[in-house]
Amino acid sequence: MLNSQSGIQGLFLANFFLGIKSKAQVHFNISLLVYVRNKTISGRGKVFIPTASEQDIISNLYGEFHYQRAADKCYIVLDLLGHQPCLGIPPTCKATHNTKLNILLDDNWQVGEAGLSYLDPIKKSWHTIDQLPVRQVDHSNIADLSQLAIQVKNAHKH
């Protein structure tokens, strides 16, 4: 279910689970605020890595979406980059790029598949997983909506 209770027209919350819920497989929870007017996305996510579960990857996510038509079907494509959360104001802290997501969703934002690349926190090497199943979920345990709203507001000041 897409949430539009933010009070800002064209802004809605979408929560997704990428992968298969298993202690033996990589999976990713994301909470996104989607701003329809300029097709931008901000959010937060948490990658669970079985080999480094004590060091799950937390990301502030930024990106955009667009529509793609193929064989009489319409899809929604999300392109997101994730950065390690940074305490302080740049340039006092350096945000480190730690995730990249390419998601293809059905036209109602419910299900799809994703390609995920992430920087392993222990091995310090990049790993890529293709064709992760994606489904929308109803959760709010990753990020508080008000924090996401502040993040979006700051990202879209013009």
Domains in the chain: how many in total? 1
Look at residue 4 and tell me if it is in a domain.
Answer: no
Domain assignment of residue 2, yes or no = no
pLDDT digits (tens, 9 = 90+) for 14-49: 999 999 988 889 999 999 999 999 999 999 999 998
Tens digits of residue pLDDT in 6-21: 567 888 889 999 999 8
Mapping DSSP onto H, E and C, the string for the chain reads CCECCCCCCCEEEEEEEECCCCCCCCEEEEEEEEECCCCEEEEEEEEECHHHHHHCEEEEEEEEEEEEEECCEEEEEEEEEEECCCCCCCCCCCCCEEEEEEEEECCCCCEEEEEEEEECCCCCCEEEEEEEEEEECCCCCCCCHHHHHHHHHHHCCC
Mean pLDDT of 65-93: 85
| Residue 105 lies inside a defined structural domain of this protein | yes
Q: Indicate which CATH number applies to the domain containing 108.
A: 2.40.160
What is this structure's pTM?
A: 0.81
